[in-house]
Structure 1
Amino acid sequence: MFAIIETGGKQYRVEEGLELKVDLLKIEAGEKLDIDSVLLVDKDGDTKIGAPFIEGAKVECEVLGHSRGKKVVVFHKLPKKDARKTQGHRQDYTSIKVKSITA
């Protein structure tokens, strides 16, 4: 059984027991999270597709913690002008573990 959920403007394919990193959520580590924006649920070939979401479907998750991604360096250089600009970015993530999928 798997489901496709939407969180943080992105879509993820999840199964029970899967650990994944999503964009930062304002929830403390160890708390329970219910995601109601379920787009698709497939159970042994029986597929339910929402328009846009499935009524009554939810994915129960546990928040494992928060972390930051690797640093990405953005470097701009204007040729023939001797102008340079360096900027860094680290994305914040929340690690979650899928406990159950109900449709």
Structure 2
Amino acid sequence: MYAVVSSGGKQYKVEEGQVFRVEKIPGEIGSQVSFDKVLLFSDGENLKIGQPVLDDISVQGKIMEQDKAKKILVFKYKRRKRYRRRQGHRQPYTAVKVESIGTSGSLVQKPETDIETE
């Protein structure tokens, strides 16, 4: 069972028990988080695709870590002009462990009835 969720302008394919990194979201370590923008859901047999999102599916997770990624260097250079600029950047992220993927409420389906015509 997996789902594709959208968070921070990016899309992530997640499964139950998986730990994945998203753009920093507010919250303490150990607190619950819910992703409601589910774009795709598969239970192994059936595939549901949202247009644009699935309203009845949500992904529940737990915040495992609030940290910064490894440093990257941004280096600007213009030849023959004695221009050099070096700058570092560390992007903050949140590590989330997926606990459950499923319906965000109870789904009520209408029973199919056979109408007899005379």
Fold-level similarity (TM above 0.5): yes
Partner of 2:32: 32
Which has the larger strand fraction?
Answer: 1
In structure 1, the gaps of 5 or more residues are none
Q: What is the match of residue 72 of structure 1?
A: 72
Structure 1 runs (4+) greater than 6 angstroms displaced: none
The letter of the residue matching 2:102 is: T
Distance 2:57 2:18 in 1: 18
Structure 2: which 5+ runs fail to align?
A: 104-118
TM-score (norm 1): 0.97
| Partner of residue 55, structure 1 | 55
Cα distance in 2 for partners of 1:34, 1:74 equals: 34
Distance 1:55 1:94 in 2: 24
* Identity score, percent: 39
Q: So what's the TM-score if we normalise by structure 2?
A: 0.85
Please list the CA deviations of residues 43-83 of structure 1 after superposition, one character each: whole Å capped at 9, or x if unmatched.
11300000111011100000012011111011111101111
Higher relative contact order (CA 8 A, sep 6+): 1
In the aligned structure 2, how far is the partner of 1:81 from the partner of 1:23? 37
Tell me which residue corresponds to 2:107.
Answer: none
* Aligned equivalents of 1:2, 1:79: Cα separation in 2: 50
Q: Would you say 1:16 and 2:40 are equivalent positions?
A: no
Q: Distance in 1 between matches of 2:65 and 2:73?
A: 25
Query: In the alignment, which residue of structure 2 is the partner of 1:82?
Result: 82
Give me the whole-angstrom Cα distance separating, in 2, the residues matched to 1:12 and 1:84: 37
Is 1:91 matched with 2:94? no
